[in-house]
Amino acid sequence: MRLDLVTVIVDDYDAAIAFFTEALGFELTEDWPSLTGDGRPKRWVVVRPPDGGTGLLLARADGGRQAAAVGNQAAGRVGFFLHVDDFEATHARLAAAAVRFVTPPRTEPYGRVAVFLDVAGNRWDLLGPAPGVRPAAPDG
């Protein structure tokens, strides 16, 4: 069993695709025309981290209730967590790509962390190992 997809509600498909692929380095794995339950056009858009892990279904807001959730999917809390092996390099790359960080990097008992906003305004933790701690080698 594995968690395959998590929905992120966005205002615009193409802006979200650009953010997740160009700024974060995810891969666009699916982009298909589709229809809403009542027959209106929509798209099925999935981006995944390069390792092919859990994907994000980028869903354009449909109606007022969904539009109100754009950027607030976790009620103002950090709702998404991006683990990287090289925190400093990734932080520098994201900052250079104009990703908006809302906290400076800091070291916690669990490692390095900085909070950033995605294209919709949702809060993410960028997480990496504590300084001097090497990531575990993959099995195999």
| CATH of region 73-140 | 3.10.180.10
CA 29 to chain centre: 14
Domain ranges of the chain: 1-70, 73-140
> What does the CA dihedral 59, 73, 114, 15 come to, rounded to 10 degrees?
30
Q: What is the pLDDT of residues 56-83, one digit of tens each?
A: 999 999 999 999 999 999 999 999 999 9
| CATH of region 1-70 | 3.10.180.10
Residue 5 makes CB contacts below 8 A (sequence gap 6+) with 46, 54, 55, 56, 57
Give the pTM: 0.89
Q: What is the pLDDT of residues 88-116, one digit of tens each?
A: 999 999 999 999 999 999 999 999 999 99
What's the pLDDT score for residue 137?
A: 56
Asked if 1-70 and 73-140 have one fold, the answer is yes
CB atoms within 10 A of CB 117: 15
Kindly report the backbone phi and psi dihedral angles of residue 139, in degrees, each rounded to the nearest multiple of 5, phi listed first.
Answer: -65, 150
